Structure 1
């Protein structure tokens, strides 16, 4: 009898375990989303209703439903003005499978950016242990920026001589100073009887044409002897650049000679003649993008040995390469159905020394479309957010590669492009037939009595075990009785 009880206890335990491990069908969800099919859109400072639809997707009615937006002072969390003490809304009851529309009177903040904001709502109702969070995307359009008129940069002046650098050429020349010299003891009288030979810089060029910070370049200076009667000789030129840098330990000239020597020698220039001199230089790597002056001092003699000195200033523009990086993409979904949207976000880090102007971004790829995103100007060392929506147009047939194409301008208006790839598959939309088939499969699974069948099988197994045990006991009892009878028969036989 005890063994039968133990068997029944084992059977009941198996039934309980089976009930625990049986797959349970997921209950439906309570969802909150923006009413309609379009993303709610607002202009800066615009007052407009935000309509949400809360849907009870469960099998039972829910009561005392509370929907509360997460109102924050941070504009990234709540892009609307905080005009009410509480934005909480309550619904007494929502039947299973039914929806209810909530309306919030909101006003977009004046300083919103042109992008999509993720607004979060907390939802709770009776029977729910913890409130859950739902996100709703809203589109904001910023106030147009008034582009300030930029003042033209003043070219550095290192020479206080009367002649100022030309705005077109970046060159200035000073008047030569005369010093006595040569074998004659009275060379001063000779210079008064002849014209003073004046050597000027008529222009310059660089190789390469664009000088970039941190690179080597060749500076080619074009010289002219303006005197029509006097030749000059024994010419010595020395190049000096202004010191750049805030720290005394790291301050150094903007340009340094690549060979180590800043001096160039030239035999001479004939009357009314021209010649070129060149020097290899290196631009300091941390220079800001602007023109930098190089002062060139000249020493030369005329035919009588009279010495002259003068200076010229050359203004060389330095360019900095744009240097920036993109963060990893954040997507609201790994795939998107045809006709639906997915939100894509990433950051642009301007790690260079120049400002990026009129930054724009657009997503391109198979089966998608997106609107161009205007990011604006990004200062050196600043971070900008790229936030856009991608719409699925047709089902993806390839690898789902999508390119984000970013364009920007430098201070001269030249346009540059950068790209970054992401993977996004566009899937076919779920049709009514597919939804019906899925619901029919769920109903069939619900209609089939799996648990009763398992219970029945277990009970039959228990009965079979009991029968087998009883048969074994009966067989053992008969064998014992036969053995006793055989022993008695043997004893009687011995007595006779």
Structure 2
């Protein structure tokens, strides 16, 4: 047998011994490796707190001693981070650490922190890292134990200031009475100047009979993009002595659209033309004109102005021209979609949690305010998730942890109710359904703490492993030395034979 074959054979023996050791370790009690010495930090009742901009709120955490020994000088505090983006709260003190004193093995204690969210923080989910440290005393030795845990909080952006609007409704129509020459954003009117091409007025005093807009109504009261509505304009002849006649009115709406090929007026007549004829208005009298209009479907949610031009005659057939403006608010319906639910896991036990996530796509042209998702079902605990404001054309994430409450027979229905507000504070809701299976809680045959005690008290696991490893090392050294000595002896024997052969040859 040459040297290479002996080395190969030795390697096979060593591999066999290692396999034997690993097999022995694998059949040891599971508690030998299950006992983990640690301090756990959890949010009380597993709740994720939601903070509001500029408001203070308390957050209660639970610290538990799971080190299988008593602890002293327990301290808990959050890490503030190095940047403003890491810490969403106002830094009101230099250090938030709290001293908890001593904790016996298995004992828990609640710790409450009070934070105030900064007003410049957006609606997001932040990760806050808490660090706990303590002194462990075992076998007369003091050991510093330190552990950290990342927990989550939701923050809410500061609400935008909403412009107050005033309107009165009567039998489904909007009556905007904003005052003459006052064009308001919520909807109103203004009157322009008068151009007169003739002699004196009907009274011969040189006064010009003026026709003005005193208000308007829309039916329905709320004009929505892409729908038809009836516009009624209220007129008044301000002259106390002169009648006006042969009145011709023309309405012109602003052109909307970025593309020249698709740009068109914001309002178009539903049928016919935009010109209206009125026979006349007596002195100091009033009259109404009406027209059916259609609001363009892609209009943004805001007021749009209509220019009203007037041409009429006085009692002497003199031509008079004037103009007014009308501002009509246009509303857009909210339009959004949800992505498919991501559920992990899809089957949980009573008391366990499943992570449910989906995306909310705001496909409409309006902003959704104070969006909130509420999960309800007979098999889960009620869970609320605050999403915040969602801009038009943007995406928001809905992320919830659902805790199993009652066991089900197969997948059961869970309802997610999404609520949101428009710019006027009106609340709307939408529902989505998902499936989640909840099973009865399985009874554990042996708790990890029990297995740890059995391994420590009944079977000396660690010493056995150490002895086995030392035995393997000693065996390897002995085998290696024996083979080295054998090889050396063979070499000396071969050298002696060679010398004998040379001496016999010399004698010949």
Q: TM-score range with shorter-chain normalisation?
A: 0.5 to 0.7
Q: How many angstroms apart in 2 are the aligned matches of 1:29 and 1:223?
A: 85
1:325 aligns with 2:332: no
Structure 2 contact 201–209 (Cα < 8 Å) conserved: no
Offset at residue 309 of structure 1 (A): 0.9
Q: Is the 8 A contact 1:225 1:231 kept in 2?
A: no
Equivalent residue of 1:322, what SS? coil
RMSD: 6.4
The 10-residue stretch of structure 1 (46-55 or 258-267) with the greater mean CA deviation from structure 2: 46-55
Contact 2:371 2:420 in 1 (8 A): yes
Aligned equivalent of 2:189: 171
Q: CA deviation at 1:221?
A: 2.6
* 5+ long unaligned stretches in structure 1: 1-23, 57-70, 82-97, 122-133, 154-161, 181-186, 440-496
Going from structure 1 to structure 2, the CA distance change for 1:336 and 1:267 (only over 3 Å counts) comes to: same
Q: Helix, strand or coil for the counterpart of 2:204?
A: helix
Per-residue deviation at 1:107?
9.5
Matches within 5 A, 1:72-111: none
Instruction: Answer with 1 or 2: which has the greater Rg.
Output: 1
TM-score normalised by the chain length of structure 1 = 0.57
Q: 1:269 aligns with which of 253, 261, 280?
A: 280
Is 1:278 aligned to residue 288 of structure 2? Answer: no
Following superposition, the deviation at residue 175 of structure 1 comes to 4.5
- Corresponding residue of 2:356: 344
The residue that corresponds to 2:480 in the other structure is none
Q: Distance in 1 between matches of 2:252 and 2:359?
A: 42
- Structure 2: how far apart are the matches of 1:273 and 1:38? 69
Q: What is the Cα deviation at residue 340 of structure 1?
A: 3.2
Match of 1:236 in 2: 248
Aligned residue in 1 for 2:347: 335
Q: Residues 371-405 of structure 1, C-alpha deviation per residue, up to 9 Å, x if partnerless?
A: 43222222223333323332222223574111111
What is the distance in 1 between the residues matched to 2:345 and 2:224? 43
Q: Distance in 1 between matches of 2:227 and 2:181?
A: 30
Task: Answer yes or no: is 1:221 the counterpart of 2:239.
Answer: no
Find the residue that maps to 2:317 and give its secondary structure. coil
Partner Cα separation in structure 2 for residue 195 and residue 48 of structure 1: 75
CA deviations on 1:155-189 (whole Å, 9 max, x unpaired) are xxxxxxx9333688602223432223xxxxxx547
Q: 2:46 aligns with which of 39, 54, 58?
A: 39
Question: Under a length normalisation based on structure 2, what TM-score does the superposition of the two structures give?
Answer: 0.56
Aligned residues: 411
Over 3 Å counting, the alpha-carbon distance change for 1:55 and 1:116 in structure 2 is farther
| Alignment partners' CA distance in 2, 1:165 and 1:280 | 21
Residues 276-303 of structure 1: CA deviation (Å, up to 9, x unaligned): 231433325142x111110110111234
Aligned pairs for 1:425-440 within 5 A: 425-431=437-443
Q: Distance in 2 between matches of 1:398 and 1:48?
A: 36
- Shift, 1:224, TM fit: 3.2
Q: What pairs up with 1:73-472 in 2 under 5 angstroms?
A: 139=153, 145=158, 148=161, 150=163, 163-165=181-183, 170-180=188-198, 187-188=199-200, 190=202, 192=204, 196-213=208-225, 215-226=226-237, 227=239, 229-233=242-246, 235-245=247-257, 247=258, 249=260, 252=263, 254-258=265-269, 263-271=274-282, 272-283=285-296, 285-287=298-300, 289-397=301-409, 399-431=411-443
Residues 395 and 428, structure 1, Cα contact 8 Å, conserved in 2 = yes
* SS of corresponding position for 1:347: strand
The aligned residue for residue 470 of structure 1 is none
Change beyond 3 A, Cα 1:430–1:34: farther
Moved more, 321-330 or 358-367: 321-330
CA displacement, residues 211-258 of structure 1 (integer Å, 9 cap, x when unaligned): 223x1423423343424651412x22111123445x473684552424
